[in-house]
Structure 1
Amino acid sequence: MGLRVALAVHPDSGKGAAARVAGTVAARLRGATDRLDLLAANTVEESHALMREAHGAGLDALVVLGGDGAAHQAVQFCAGTDIALGVIPSGTGNDLARALGMPTNPLAAVDAVAAALLAGRTRKMDLGRLGDTWFSTVLCAGFDASVNARANRMRWPSGPRRYDLAVVAELASFRTRRLTVTTDTDRLDLEATLVAVGNTGWYGGGIPICPSARADDGLFDLTVVGRASRGQLIRMLPTLRTGKHLNHPAVRTLRARQVTLSGNDWPAYADGEPLGTLPVTVTCVPEALTVLG
């Protein structure tokens, strides 16, 4: 039957960036496959329907052209199966592509994916799981989740600058709350500003919130920021881009296979997508996803 691959395109990703390069991406992938199916969807419902149809026909790999939201939907499709996932970044954050070491330019990324397909080169990565939902990068709650929600509502600017402006806007209203973090070996009860549970290191378009996180060690890395005044947060924010926030006295780090966050009703976001409110329990599932590369 040969190598069958589906290309999932989210045309609206990156303010239309995905749509502009979709034809070129498809042409380059065809040279590495025996059959390429194109799945174009602008909504989650459309994406799910197209992926279910492709799955029923038999697939070896799914390549997604889009941002972290598109990648999140593709992860739900590929997790726990033998279908390999390839990611070509063309969105706002592109944090999963970053964690996979993909080039930031989508045309360079498709060449890397095509080379992996031709060579049959795959590897396994861990995923986080919350109920029936998988996540590949970072689950967060508190200040960072509030920033994520605000950034998702903004239509301008594009790229990481949107996240930066959302941070400034959220500083005016955010307040710390009581939080309990329970892991396999630890329990923290504290007045908290934010908590991030990292399967990989980055969120928010390249912020290394959990800089030591690895997606192949079977464990989450946690970054917990305790009580911090508005002034302290303002001084801490520039260090987030360098990973030096871990040196701040308000920051605690943990490692765990399973984590429960409770004590308040903060919204929880993972891969930039809303996943309800606390309390939540998340588990790191080793080697749950096959990726190209």
Structure 2
Amino acid sequence: MGLHAALAVHPDSGMGAAARIAGTVAHRLRRHVDRLDLLAANTVEHYRALLAESRAAGLDVLVVVGGDGAAHQAVQFCAGTDIALGVVPAGTGNDLARALGMPADPLTAVDAVVAGLRQGRTHRIDLGRAGDTWFSTVLCAGFDAAVNERANRWRYPRGPRRYDLAILAELASFRSREVCIRTEAGVHELRATLVAVGNTAWYGGGVPICPDARPDDGVFDVTVVGQATRRELIRMLPSLRSGRHLDHPAVTTLRAREVSLSGIGWPAYADGEPLGTLPVSVNCVPRALAVLG
């Protein structure tokens, strides 16, 4: 049996960008696979049903065209299996594609996916797991999760600018809170502004909140911003895009395989998707996902 691939397109990703390039992506993929299933869905339930049909037919590779929300759903499907995932960035944040070293231009990224298919080039990366939910990039709680929640309610502007504006809006109302961070190395209780648990470095459309995180080292990098005033946060914001926020005296970093966060009322997000509120416990699962490239 030859190579069986599926192309998952989320038409709403990137304000329709995914839908606009879907035909071109499919055309390029067809030349290098024996079977290509086209999966287009705007609901998670429909998407999962289509994926289940492809898996039952012997799926080898899933290529997803979309943003981090689309990639997150694909990760839920491919995690813990031998089905390789290819990511074509066509969304707002594209942080998983960035961590995988994919070109920012989606059509150039297709060429990279095709090269991986042609050469049979895959490798495995770690994933985080929170209960039954897998995540590939960053789990965040506190200020950054509140920003994510606000940005998700907006349709405009597109791209990283949306997150920048959501940060400014959230600054007006957010307050630091008591949080307890438990890892295999010990317990940290403090008043904090945010906690980010990074399997990879970036979230929020290219913010390197955990700049040293690597998805193949078997551990999380944890960035903790302690109690900070609104003025201190404003001063810290420019350093986030460069990773220099780690030098701020309010910032602490940890490395851990298992992390439990507890506190009152803090929202939690993983891969930009809501996980509810604290408490939440996560563990790093080495080599849980096969990726093309």
Same fold (TM over 0.5): yes
Counting only pairs closer than 5 Å after superposition, residues 58-97 of structure 1 correspond to structure 2 as 58-97=58-97
> SS state of the match for residue 157, structure 1?
coil
Cα distance in 2 for residues equivalent to 1:263 and 1:139: 15
The structural deviation recorded for 1:169 is: 0.4
How far did 1:52 drift? 1.1
Deviation for aligned residue 1:265: 2.6
1:76-155 equivalent positions in 2, closer than 5 A: 76-155=76-155
CA distance in 1, matches of 2:263, 2:166: 25
1-structure distance, mates of 2:144, 2:263: 17
Please list, as runs of the form range in 1=range in 2, the aligned pairs for 1:222-233 lying within 5 A after superposition. Answer: 222-233=222-233
**How far 1:186 moved relative to its partner?**
2.6
Q: What residue number does 1:281 align with? A: 281
Name 1:27's counterpart in structure 2. 27
- Code of the residue aligned with 2:78 in structure 1: it is C
Q: Deviations along 1:227-246, whole A, 9 cap, x unmatched? A: 00000000001100000000
Alignment deviations for residues 23-46 of structure 1 (CA, whole Å, 9 cap, x no partner)? 001001111111111000111111
Amino acid at match of 1:258: E
One-letter amino acid matched to 1:17:
A
Aligned residues: 293
- Please state whether the residue corresponding to 1:80 is helix, strand or coil: coil
Matched, 1:291 2:254: no
Which residue number corresponds to residue 199 of structure 1?
Answer: 199
Structure 2: gaps of 5 or more residues: none
Shift in Å at residue 264 of structure 1?
1.9
Partner residue, 1:266: 266
TM-score by length of 2: 0.99
Aligned equivalents of 1:105, 1:244: Cα separation in 2: 27
1:32–1:115: 8 Å Cα contact kept in structure 2?
no
Following superposition of structure 1 onto structure 2, how do residues 153-172 of structure 1 map, counting pairs within 5 Å? 153-172=153-172
Aligned to 1:244: 244
Q: For 1:82-103, what per-residue CA distance to the aligned partner results, in whole angstroms no more than 9, with x for missing partners?
A: 1000000000000000000000
Query: 1:43 matched to which residue of 2?
Result: 43
Letter aligned with residue 157 of structure 1: P
Alignment deviations for residues 135-159 of structure 1 (CA, whole Å, 9 cap, x no partner): 0000000000000000000111000
SS in 2 for 1:51: helix
Identity %: 75
